[in-house]
Each structure stands twice: as C-alpha cells, then as structure tokens.
Structure 1
C-alpha cells in the first residue's frame, strides 16, 4: 500500500471538486481534467490509476508511473470481477485516486465502484487518455491526456 501521512489533508482542488460532486449528487468524489490530474500526481496529492485494458495500455500508450488496475480486459472489455479487491490490496482507502480510461466513461464507473468499495476519494479523469470522438469518429483530435501533451510512453 502507498504510504500516507498520519493526517491526510486533501488537496484544495480535490476538496472543491468533491464538494461540487456532493452538491450535484455524483456517486463518486468528482471529475478532474487531464492537466489537473497530472498536476495532482506531480504534487504527490493523488495516485493515477489507469483502468484501461492491458491491450489498450500496450498498443495505445500509458502514463509512466501510473498504477494499472484494469476495469475490464480483452477486446470485448469483459468486466474485471476483482477490480475492487485489486485496489484494496494496493492502496489505502484514504488515498486520493484519479481513475483514467480511454474517454472518461469507464473511469466514472471505476470511481463509483471504488467508492462503493470504501475508497473515500475516488475521482475520474475527464476526457480520458485518448479523448472524445471527433466528427470523423477519431480520438485524439479534440481532447484527452495525449492531446494536451501530457507525459506518456508506448511499448
């Protein structure tokens, strides 16, 4: 498990996001944008959890230093029944988590599942790693982690 200070002080940005999520009735701690997520990771205020499949990370790319706990795997994206247990084995339930997927949708589901499993600060990263589809049905041209020029590598 990641080491935590004895008294966790939630980063002000995450505290604000969590308050907004609570006021709007989200079932998880809220959303952050990719650049905000990277700043939080760099500041040591949160752990980036890549919930994409192993295949996506291998063929599309990954964020160096991110923790990989797949929400689903295979080309059919079969749901990982051990998702919550894998998080619990590797992280403290008080550790702020930033869930990252391809476009942001699975990250929301993963953040909600982590919250149900007892994680107090499970956030989703909007736009995801590849971003939303553009009018031509392609990713990476509108938004997303790579679009914003944030660190990533490819095998």
Structure 2
C-alpha cells in the first residue's frame, strides 16, 4: 500500500520561502535564472535613480506622495501570471516591497520574497542613502538612463 501524498497548504509553502533575501543572494538567484526580479518603485525612480538590468517594473505607488496603486496585484498578475514563480521584490529601502510582498502573498504568490535593504538602502545620519547598505552599496549590477 502506498503512502498518501502530503501537499503543503499555501501558508506552509510560503513559510518555506524566506520573507526577505539579502541583495547579493537576490542577484545570485536572478542571474542563475532561479528567480524573477520585480522592481516596485515608480518609473521616475527607475529613470532618475537607476535600475537593475532585466528587472520588471510594477509600481506599488505613484506620484511624489507615493499614493498606493490600487491595481498593483492585477498589474503584477498581468506580468507574472504564474503564482508559483520565484519572485523577488525590490524598492528603494525595502519598505514598499515588503508591503507589496504582503499583498502578493495574500493573492497566492507563495514563492515571493522581499530584497532586504532595497536599491538605495536606509538613510544614514546625514540623511543620505547608499552609504551603509542597499543594492548599489554592495556593488551589484545596475544602470541609469
């Protein structure tokens, strides 16, 4: 008699994927084709601050007030229809992408993680980013328009 196949419920499957990964680990996963990088910053941020080559963009918020995009999940699903795809979310400091991660996990994306530190990192004592942490701080690939 064969033993029954045990399937993990969605919550357990999501628990096996870390909620955050370090920038270097994220780049390793992306460059090896094991994950898709989705930048949730605004198109303006990508154009003026810089972006990771090959990353998709689905803005979590828009405008100077960073008003939440009410269509975020729908727009994400249009670009990444496979809910079981390994996805890494990136923003400026890791805060917006953490919120986007929550929304995507609720929508059934069980293999999504946040890129810790974000693209520019946290503000330092001089109120500047990119001096202590972040994608660019670690010397990972990026480009600017």
Secondary structure of the 2:130 match is coil
Q: Deviations over 1:108-153 (max 9, x none)?
A: 0001101111111110000000001111110000010000111101
**How far off is 1:84 after superposition?**
0.4
User: Which 5+ residue runs of structure 1 have no aligned equivalent?
Assistant: 1-16, 22-28
Counterpart check, 1:90 vs 2:79:
yes
Output aligned runs, 1:110-121, within 5 Å.
110-121=100-111
Return the TM-score normalized by structure 1. Answer: 0.81
Q: For the structure 1 residues 96 and 82, does the alpha-carbon distance in structure 2 shift closer, same or farther, using more than 3 Å as the test?
A: same
Superposed CA deviations along residues 8-34 of structure 1, whole A, max 9, x for unmatched, are xxxxxxxxx943x7xxxxxxx510000
1:80 to 56, 69, 78: 69
* Counterpart selection for 1:56 from 45, 65, 87: 45
Q: What secondary structure does 1:65 align onto?
A: coil
User: Aligned equivalents of 1:119 and 1:55: distance in 2?
Assistant: 26
Aligned residues: 131
Q: Distance in 1 between matches of 2:125 and 2:15?
A: 32
- Quote the residue 2:141 is aligned against: 151
Runs of 4+ in 1 over 6 A off after TM superposition: none
Tell me the CA shift for residue 71 of structure 1.
Answer: 0.2
Q: Which runs of 5+ in 2 are unaligned?
A: 1-13
SS in 2 for 1:99: strand
Q: d(CA) in 1 for partners of 2:119 and 2:51?
A: 8
Name the CA distance, whole Å, in 2 between partners of 1:83 and 1:97. Answer: 15
| CA displacement at 1:90 relative to structure 2 | 1.6
